[in-house]
A and B are shown apart, each in its own frame.
Chain A
Amino acid sequence: GAGVSQSPSNKVTEKGKDVELRCDPISGHTALYWYRQRLGQGLEFLIYFQGNSAPDKSGLPSDRFSAERTGESVSTLTIQRTQQEDSAVYLCASSTTGQGNYGYTFGSGTRLTVV
């Protein structure tokens, strides 16, 4: 596609429920990243996929968070047993390589509200 597409754009869920967020990267981008942006705070790195390599999961805050990506296509971020502190905007980005020297293209994010 022309840009990074994320869905849903907004999600309200009850505490304890599981949620699944989707990211469709730019076609041909081998690297895909997930970030969390809490209100008034900087972006927090969650997880990074590069091609068929093992993902860098070093930013996932707990075992309730997991993400998958098949090849160089769509990725899903799953949060199990959601808590109120999970409320944030979840941003996905993709780039042509995984090297930090290149800019990313971000999606518009999914605003998650846990009530």
Chain B
Amino acid sequence: KNQVEQSPQSLIILEGKNCTLQCNYTVSPFSNLRWYKQDTGRGPVSLTIMTFSENTKSNGRYTATLDADTKQSSLHITASQLSDSASYICVVSGGGTASKLTFGTGTRLQVTL
């Protein structure tokens, strides 16, 4: 069964600090991996999309890494801001259409003063 597991489930950090969120998956075949940010009461917003040949991709203070051999990805947030408080969702695509996407349950990040 295709699965995407994220850790930690929740995280609290001080503003200005860095943090790393983890995503492990067992999706096969593999097409791409995406990280989304979902603010409370809003729909998910795409941060990065990586195919199996990409090891790292950045979007501002967000840097995602992918190890297709170990089926692991991480999302690193640098110099966190209060506005980074949100759920971060890892999504793995098996290719083809929308029915082939497997969503993780997300990591809830809270950035505090």
Q: Is the CB of B46 within 8 A of A104?
A: yes
Q: A56-B98, A100-B94, A103-B34 are in contact. List 5 more A-B contacts (CB 8 A).
A: A33-B98, A43-B91, A43-B103, A98-B97, A106-B43
Instruction: Pick from A42, A91, A100, A104: contact of B32, CB below 8 A.
Output: A100
Total chain A interface residues with beta-carbon distance under 8 A:
28
A111 to B40, CA, bound (A): 12
Chain B CB within 8 A of A108 CB: yes
Whether, in the assembled complex, A41 has its beta carbon less than 8 Å from a beta carbon of chain B, the answer is: yes
B102 and chain A: residue at smallest CB distance: A42
B residues near A (Cβ < 8 Å) are 4, 31-32, 34, 41-46, 49, 51, 89, 91, 93-106
Complex contact A103–B46 (CB within 8 A) = yes
B36: nearest chain-A partner, CB-CB: A106
Given contacts A103-B49, A106-B44, A106-B45, contact A42 B94 (CB under 8 A): no
